[in-house]
Structure 1
Amino acid sequence: MRVPLGLVDGDPRIGDLPELFVGSRATRRVTKPKPGSLRGACHCGAVAYEIVAPLAGEIVRCHCSRCRKARAAAHASNVFVSLSDFRWLHGDDQVDSFKVPDALRFTQAFCRGCGSPLPRVDPQRGIGVVPAGSLEDEPGIREGRHIFVGSKAPWFEIGDSAPKYDEYPPA
């Protein structure tokens, strides 16, 4: 697959820029997404996935230091899905991860090629933790609660009225 170098897909200014070769046509297994599924991918296109059921709930914004470092941002915006509704379309062999040694559950999944954050599959809990920024389609849900605001970046001000929790919300 050839991907033009540029910041925004469809930007007419990137038409004359050189192209970047991504992946190998000879070895890439490509599965077609199911109609109506929600698709996502890494920045270079080497990894793609789909969610086959409509999303429920909200996009959760986590302000813990691990999520902030993993996303290099004020917070992570994640969607939680059942593993039965998640599948890799291609490039799952290009997904790598880093588990923080002292963390009970935190593991960061990313593309080996471009470093983009990717869904983390958690078979023990039967869930996928999907970075909302990796979604390519309209998810049909919006940002909701803020968690771990007790450890948020001191320079970041939360500017909405969504529920805020110092750690996990009550069960």
Structure 2
Amino acid sequence: MINNKINGSCLCGKVSSTVEGPFNKFYQCYCDRCQKKTGSAFAALMFTTPDKIQWHSGQALIKRFDLPQAQRFSNCFCSECGSQVPYISRDGAFLIVPAGYVTGDPGIKPSANIFWAERPCWFEEGKQAENFEDYPK
């Protein structure tokens, strides 16, 4: 993380910000809710304090969904491209930053795989699949 700050944006670039580090935690969450939210095996989420973000553009484009029956689960995304974007936890304690949102090295590596028992049945086989630099031919 250069100068302890890292830039980030959504896929279309309309939502952008700078987050000041260091991050406190980095979890890969395998809960079934994060699988639905990401369309993948897990959500890669970094945590810091709510005051560590400076928005540059697109805050008005951010949509938030708080799962009514959940104590903590939320999803915030750009309404233009659907990319996940940073958000404040429901209790106000954390700024949660999707790892894919940031550009470059965030200066932290995942420290835990949480809700491991809920990982998808195809996860282990996926790790053994053939690797390609781009689309397979």
Q: Does the residue aligned with 1:108 lie in a helix, a strand or coil?
A: strand
- One-letter identity of the residue aligned with 1:39: N
List alignment gaps of at least 5 residues for structure 2: 128-137
Deviations along 1:88-129, one digit per CA (max 9) or x if unpaired, are 221111100122221111110000100001112126333111
1:115 to 57, 68, 82: 82
Give yes or no for the alignment of 1:45 onto 2:13.
yes
Q: Distance in 2 between matches of 1:52 and 1:39?
A: 9
- One-letter identity of the residue aligned with 1:156: F
1:124 aligns to what?
Answer: 91
2:135 aligns to what?
Answer: none
1:88 to 51, 55, 68: 55
Q: Distance in 2 between matches of 1:76 and 1:123?
A: 17
Query: Comparing both structures, which one devotes a greater share of its residues to helix?
Result: 2
List alignment gaps of at least 5 residues for structure 1: 1-34, 161-171
1:142 aligns to what?
Answer: 109
Q: Distance in 2 between matches of 1:76 and 1:67?
A: 6
Which structure has the greater CA radius of gyration? 1
Q: 1:155 to 1:44 in 2, by over 3 A?
A: same
Runs of 4+ in 1 over 3 A off after TM superposition: none
Q: 1:159 to 1:125 in 2, by over 3 A?
A: farther
Give yes or no for the alignment of 1:54 onto 2:16.
no
Percent identical: 32
Name the Cα RMSD after superposition: 2.1
Shift of 1:77: 0.5
Q: Distance in 2 between matches of 1:132 and 1:151?
A: 20
Q: Does the residue aligned with 2:111 lie in a helix, a strand or coil?
A: strand
Give yes or no for the alignment of 1:70 onto 2:48.
no
Identify which of structures 1 and 2 has the higher relative contact order when contacts are C-alpha pairs closer than 8 Å and 6+ apart: 2
Q: 1:56 to 1:98 in 2, by over 3 A?
A: closer
1:155 aligns to what?
Answer: 122
- One-letter identity of the residue aligned with 2:46: V
Deviates more, 1:136-145 or 1:63-72: 136-145
How many pairs are equivalent? 125
TM-score where L is the length of structure 1? 0.67
